[in-house]
Amino acid sequence: MRIHTRTSSKAAALLAALSTIVLLAGCGTSDPTDQDTTTPAAEVSASAPATEEPTEEQSEAASPAPDTSTTPTGEPSGEPTASEPAEAGMCTAADLSAVVETPMGAGGAGTVERTLILSNASDAECTMTGYPGVSYVDAAEAQVGAPADREPGVEVPTVVLEPGQSAIATLLQTNAQNYGDECNLTDTTGVRIYPPGATDSLIALQESVGCTAEDIVLMTVGPMVAM
């Protein structure tokens, strides 16, 4: 009789345990529609293929080739074009030498036509346009009397002087003795010359006689022209 009682008790305990398991399993089951179908970002990142960094050789191969096409001027588009040559600088006294020449048979008691010659004594090309400034000077290189007037009504060209080349101007000189006592005669040793547009001067030797009177003009000069 005791043995039967123990067997019944064990069966009852086993049945209770099974009931508990079934109850717990039912509580843990959820509706499939309630589950979150969103894939976590970490899983997406892990599943996506990694982007491979290009190697140096691949970068060079992908770079476009340099443009070697030509511009309308015929020069390669990547190269600078040649610039126009710079214009020659203005002749200054420092670039020049000067002389006053008297043509054969030009002497006389009135006005004498002489030739003023300016030569490029430098090693570079230079230009001049216009009239030189001319005046008499004494032995101390001080100006004597009025400067030369300009010859009117003549063409004024631009002269380009290569090293060693010369330009000339007509220089008319009137005899100072023609003006008598009002002239106040003074010996001169040369003429001071300002090249056209220049602010420095040079002296061409020429012994003569000038007037210290400022209202008497003894010279007239023409523009510089090619020799």
Is pLDDT at 85 greater than 70 in this prediction? no
Q: Is 39 helix (H, G, I), strand (E, B) or coil?
A: coil
Is pLDDT at 4 greater than 50 in this prediction? no
What percentage of residues in the chain have a pLDDT greater than 70? 59
Instruction: Report the chain's mean pLDDT, rounded to a whole number.
Output: 76
Pairing status of strand 219-221 against strand 149-150: parallel
Per-domain residue ranges of the chain: 89-226
Instruction: Give the residue-averaged pLDDT of 62-86.
Output: 42
In this prediction, residue 23 carries a pLDDT of 52
How far is the C-alpha of 195 from the C-alpha of 129, rounded, in Å? 9
How far is the C-alpha of 128 from the C-alpha of 96, rounded, in Å? 11
Domain 89-226 part of CATH 2.60.40.10: yes
Question: Which two structure tokens, joined as six digits, stand for 77?
Answer: 């588009």
How far is the C-alpha of 36 from the C-alpha of 178, rounded, in Å? 128
In this prediction, residue 7 carries a pLDDT of 47
Is pLDDT at 70 greater than 50 in this prediction? no
How far is the C-alpha of 115 from the C-alpha of 97, rounded, in Å? 14
In this prediction, residue 105 carries a pLDDT of 67
Residue given tokens 């020049």 in the structure block = 96
Stronger pLDDT, 219 or 102, i.e. the higher one:
219
Stronger pLDDT, 177 or 48, i.e. the higher one:
177
In this prediction, residue 110 carries a pLDDT of 87
What percentage of residues in the chain have a pLDDT greater than 90? 56
Q: Is 123 helix (H, G, I), strand (E, B) or coil?
A: coil
Stronger pLDDT, 19 or 4, i.e. the higher one:
19
User: Model confidence at 147, in pLDDT bands (50, 70, 90)?
Assistant: very high
How far is the C-alpha of 26 from the C-alpha of 4, rounded, in Å? 34
